[in-house]
Structure 1
Amino acid sequence: MAYRQRRFSMFLRRPFKEITQNTSVPHPDLFKTLGIGSNDTQRGNADLPTIGECAVHLELLEVFRNLRIQIIQSKELVRVFRLDSSRLWISKHRRETKRTEKWHRFVSLAVERFQVWIRAAEKQLERDGNNKTLILPPAASITADPLVSLTDTISETQSTPDQPNQEKHPSISPENEALLHNVLRQMKFIDQMHDCLWISYPDAEDILETARKRYNNFVELFRLHPGVMLVPTLDIDLVWHTHLCSAARYREFMMVRVGRFINHDDKLGKGALDDGFDRTKELYEELESRGGA
């Protein structure tokens, strides 16, 4: 609790209410804005992510976190990946634990399979004349038990009739390596969102609405201060990540609101982030003192 309040107090000056019992399941009203536009009428605000979209994003991040826990705790994957005898393949500079390697290998396979799916989806769209056809990835087959599907897939690729015990490590193609590391870096953000537990707060709707307003001010800083590196707080970053999930909508919003596309760079070092955060805090408080965006 102290960690969350300390991070928030830099921008947000109100104490968070303590979590009470029976609040682990979000209230249905938290998702009531799904599928409807925002009621905001200020400049560009109608295209901000809604409270419901931010709440769904938090729930999705919890799914990813739980999936990672299931993968790294799986004893079956130790056998499937042959971690007892194989060398670690993901790191060139240091050895990773078996738990970490299981997750890295799982994500590597997921990236490769995603690329196969997206290429097939693009071909389907071309055949359909680029109509906005909904093409879903084959996720339903692994939703019930992802480990069963994963084990079957790896077993098929690692064994042949002639060489049943031949080790074959997963490899990542150069064009997919950036996507792999992008996914792995997102786990830090996922853990931060889990630690905050906003989705379980009795005033979760107020928290997310405040985050939306603060994100709106944050975006205004990009317009007012081009060239300045701006670093968000965790609540602002949640809305930013949610906005990025709708790529076309995000691009259009930024072009109209800021006049240029704003990239979300998560590869900056701690020193640059600390300096950027201090500068952002000053600019944000100055904007807020004038009434905000």
Structure 2
Amino acid sequence: MASHLADILHASSQDTTTHLQKTLTKSKSKCATSAKEEPQIPDPKLFTSLQPSSNHPNIGQCATHLALLEAFFHLRLNILKSSELDTVFNVQKVNKTIYKSKWRHSKRQPVKLRDPNWDEKRNIKWLLFLSIAVARFQVWAIKVNAEGIVTGTGQGMELYQLPPIDILMVWHAFLLNPLSFKKYCKDLQLVKLRRVLFPWPRIHKAINPRLSTFNYDLPIGASTWFRTTLNLKPDLFDTLKKASKLPVDSPLAKSLSNLAFCATQTTIEPTSPDSAPAIESLTIAEMASTPLFDSNLSLLTLLRTIPDFSSPSPLVSNVQRQSLFVDKMHRQLWIRSPSAHGTLSRAIDRYERFIKLFSLYPKTMLVPTLDIDLVWHTHQLSAEQYETYMRERTGRYINHDDTIQKNTLGNGMDRTANIWRVEFGEDYEGCRCWDCEVLKDELERDEEDVEKLVERVKSTVEYYRVVEIARRKGWEFLPLRE
């Protein structure tokens, strides 16, 4: 079989280009001459059904979830790489200069060394971005529940205005902690929000799958609602980038810099009056009920709701833990796989059997494989519907605990694999790379000629890899398959 996608994508730029050119020449492929002529990867048929046809996820919802996770992945990447946010949050390089003797030179020459802590320093931007996003989410949650953009009755309530991606990301991670989200909604009386079905159809329309970055574009109506109701700018990342152009002594620039100062201190006590954050405590409930006028003033007011960094915010921690899952899904890249439909179909079938084990083994900790976990996550995103389904199928509300330590998970995985083998007579884990998944598709078709089957698998996977590499390298149009 050909090497896995990751092997190619992690190769050097020169090696990748060489492989791409050789493969294109070998397969006699040609590139499309327009976007309409390009191969549609992922296949639009994946998203045919996005509305819930039953109380468990379908292929369209799982596929949209994969696309959303890609959007989250690239948002975090852009934040970490942003030089504008380096300025806003006062993240500075410290390049040490040393003097070395060079051949044929009697004098020592200055050599600048890269700041060894640069990557670690830049990680603070993600924490700060999430802290602001959490504050925005909390205001949004109260407003959404009160402002009438949730319609319907019972468990079928619909959110007809999407939130910005930072709020969607916080909400998404919160929903994957079902018991915590239920308590939060109960404490704040957010009855409507908890009954909302996750807005898969609207999310699908907001994400551009043709781009390698899966851009999330908030619809105009949703953007307008957000501006007028919360008086905040919808695009937090863009707002923070623009703040880098403000005078350093402007109120917003100073508040953002002070927020970064607090986050980087081992103790939150300011060392001098000049370095003290110029923001006062304000509760989320107070802000949600406060009439706001200027958008920069609104962000300043919002910053006052952010607690100190002496202990991690649970909602920030939720997103940080989910980033690990996002990274895993990005590495698998099932959304671009030639076997996306087959992979998701098998995952849903395996998830249903996984749920059956909860009723058969009520006192056993069961650990999902990556494909089952994707479907499980997709299911939990419609909170009240998920709880009803679990109580009907297992007799209890199954929490999803993503704080369990790795060694405990390892033991649980071994135990789950043994139970699976006993109950269903097949291996539990297995490889789910593109090659293996396409091979499963072909074997399900019961092809008798093994040589033809293998060649078809190799050809299909190779073509999809070539298309993905071309997409990531920014080719104007994608290669066609003969």
Q: Shorter-normalised TM-score: what interval? A: 0.7 to 0.9
Name the stretch that deviates more: 232-241 or 111-120: 111-120
* TM alignment of 1:203-214, pairs within 5 A: 203-214=339-350
Deviation for aligned residue 1:108: 1.2
Distance 1:259 1:77 in 2: 48
Question: Counterpart of 2:375 in structure 1: which amino acid?
Answer: V
Corresponding residue of 1:258: 394
Query: Where do 5+ consecutive residues of structure 2 fail to align?
Result: 7-26, 30-37, 94-116, 166-217, 224-231, 264-305, 427-482
Task: Decide which of 127, 139, 148 is 2:238's aligned counterpart.
Answer: 148
Kept after mapping to 1: 8 A contact 2:88/2:256: no
1:261/1:149 CA distance change after superposition, 3 Å: same
Q: Counterpart in 2 of 1:17?
A: none
Report deviation, 1:134: 3.5
1:219, distance to aligned residue in structure 2 (A): 0.5
* Residue identity in the other structure for 1:32: T
* Paired residue type of 1:121: V
Matched, 1:47 2:55: yes
Compared CA separation, residues 230 and 138, structure 1 to 2 (3 A) = closer
Are the counterparts in 2 of residues 159 and 166 from structure 1 also a CA contact under 8 Å? Answer: no
Aligned residues: 260
Q: Distance in 1 between matches of 2:242 and 2:374?
A: 35
Indicate which of 401, 409, 413 corresponds to 1:273.
Answer: 409
Partner AA of 2:44 in structure 1: P
Q: Does residue 259 of structure 2 align to residue 169 of structure 1?
A: yes
For residue 75 of structure 2, what is the aligned residue in structure 1? 67
Matches of 1:240 and 1:103 in 2, distance apart? Answer: 26
Moved more, 99-108 or 203-212: 99-108
**Counterpart AA for 2:138:** Q
Unpaired runs of at least 5, structure 1? 5-19, 38-45, 86-93
**1:137 has 2:163 as partner:** yes
Q: Does 1:33 align with 2:38?
A: no
Q: Which residue of 2 aligns with 1:247?
A: 383
1:137 aligned partner, one-letter code: P
Shift of 1:136: 3.9
Q: TM-score, normalised by structure 1?
A: 0.75
Answer whether contact 1:214 1:236 (CA < 8 A) is retained. yes
> CA shift at 1:98, angstroms?
2.4
Matched, 1:78 2:106: no
Residue 206 of structure 2 aligns with which residue? none
Q: 1:218 aligns with which of 354, 357, 362?
A: 354
**What SS does the aligned partner of 2:313 have?**
helix
RMSD of Structure 2 on Structure 1 (CA): 3.9
Counterpart residue type for residue 231 of structure 1: V
Largest Rg, 1 or 2: 2
Structure 1 range deviating more: 98-107 or 229-238: 98-107
Partner of 1:98: 121
Matched with 2:326 is 190
Code of the residue aligned with 2:163 in structure 1: it is P
Q: Secondary structure at the match of 1:230?
A: coil
Post-superposition Cα deviations, 1:126-170, rounded to whole Å, max 9, x if no partner, equal: 9999995645435635999653222346888x8546996994115
- Deviation track 1:256-286 (CA, whole Å, cap 9, x = no partner) reads 0011010111111111101100000011111
CA shift in 2, pair 1:47/1:214, >3 Å: same
Distance across 1 between alignment mates of 2:235 and 2:148: 30
- The residue number in structure 2 matching 1:111 is 134
List, as ranges, runs of 4+ consecutive aligned residues in structure 1 with deviation greater than 6 Å: 1-4, 20-24, 126-131, 142-145, 153-156
Structure 2 SS opposite 1:26: coil
Shift of 1:24: 7.8
Distance 2:120 2:137 in 1: 26
Identity %: 40
- Cα contact 1:55–1:199 (8 A) shared by 2: yes
* Whole-angstrom distance in 2 between the partners of 1:29 and 1:280: 33
Measure the CA separation in 1 of the matches of 2:252 and 2:330: 47
* Contact in 1 for aligned 2:88/2:253 (Cα 8 Å): no
Change over 3 Å in CA distance of 1:272–1:32 after alignment to 2? same
TM-score computed with the length of structure 2 as normaliser: 0.47
